[in-house]
Structures are given as structure tokens and as C-alpha cells.
Amino acid sequence: MDRYSIVFQPPELVLNEIKAMKAVLAEKIGWYHSKNSLGHITICEFETTEEPLVIIKRKLKRICATIDAVDVVLNNFNSYPNGAFFIAPDATSTLSLKTIMKEVTTELGLKNSYKSNAPHLSIGRKLSEEQLQMANQLFTTIHLTFIAKGLVLRKLDTTKKQFEAIDYFPFEGNSHLKPVQGVLF
């Protein structure tokens, strides 16, 4: 079984900003988890084989056909008790992203998957208390914006221990294609 993730991935300009922040943090604290990871907002992670993956891709294409592009504003640094240091989206972006995240995970119905319920873009993971303090000193203000225009399916490269993009599913904004529950005609 291979490991996959579905994510919102910012455009190159934002990815370069994230990469630069990770490099600055690495200069101060040395290597850390997710130092080399491309910037992204995780929706879910799961394991599957090739045959079910074909069905998952088909479902993702159908789901994304009904979703509109979303403006995303990343404007706050924060951390979790597990040592994750991240950039959080503003309230409006959080609501929009959570709606899509819930729709994707519900529609896919993946068993035994990790589902994120709080959109965030990690700078570092599993940081010690001292490393978190350093990150908070280095990074105090942020304002990045992008338009989420689709979802990226990534596969874990077990050699590099990094997820690599393998497919892209653009949002097509065809909301009239969404199935309406409770309507017979």
C-alpha cells in the first residue's frame, strides 16, 4: 500500500516565500521536520493500492468540478502543543477551506484516513519548546494571499520521505452539477 495526501497547494510565488521562511528557521535551529516539505494545506492522508486510487481520482474530479476557486489569506502565525509551527488563514478563508475539506472527505468516504479539520500551512513540525520560541521570535507578522484553484493529490516518496505531487484537480465552479439531497424531480 502506498500513502497519499490531498492538499491545497499555493502557487509558486507563495511557495517560494514559505521555502525562504523554512530556510531562515533552519539557519537558526538546524534541521527539523517538514523543513524540505513544499508548502501546502492538508485535507487528508490515506493509504491505498492502485486500483482503488483510480476510483478516488474519478471522485476527486467530480467533486472539484462543482467547487469554486477560493481566495485564501494567510495572516497569522500560531503553533500546536505537538510542536507544529504554522501560518493560519484568516476567519473567512478558514470557513471557505473547511467547507471544501469537509465536502472532499465526506464525498470520498475514505476509511482509516487522517482528516485535517483545521486548515493551516506548516512551517515546522515536532519542534521543541525552545525551537518554537525561536520560530515565534523570527516570525511575527505575515500576509500571504493566493487563490485556491484546485486540489493536488500527492504520493509519499519513501526514499525522500516527502510527498510528491502526482495529479491536479482544478475547481471548475459548476455548482449546478452538485447532487441535491431530498429532491425527487
User: pTM score, two decimals?
Assistant: 0.91
CATH of the domain at 61: 3.90.1140.10
Domain residues for the domain of 76 are 2-172
In a domain? residue 68 = yes
The count of other CB atoms within 10 Å of the CB of residue 60 is 20
The count of other CB atoms within 10 Å of the CB of residue 51 is 7
In the predicted structure, residue 9 carries a pLDDT above the cut 60: yes
In a domain? residue 183 = no
Using 50, 70 and 90 to split pLDDT, how confident is the model at 183?
Answer: very low
The count of other CB atoms within 10 Å of the CB of residue 184 is 4
The residue behind cell 493560519 is 88
State how many domains the chain has.
1
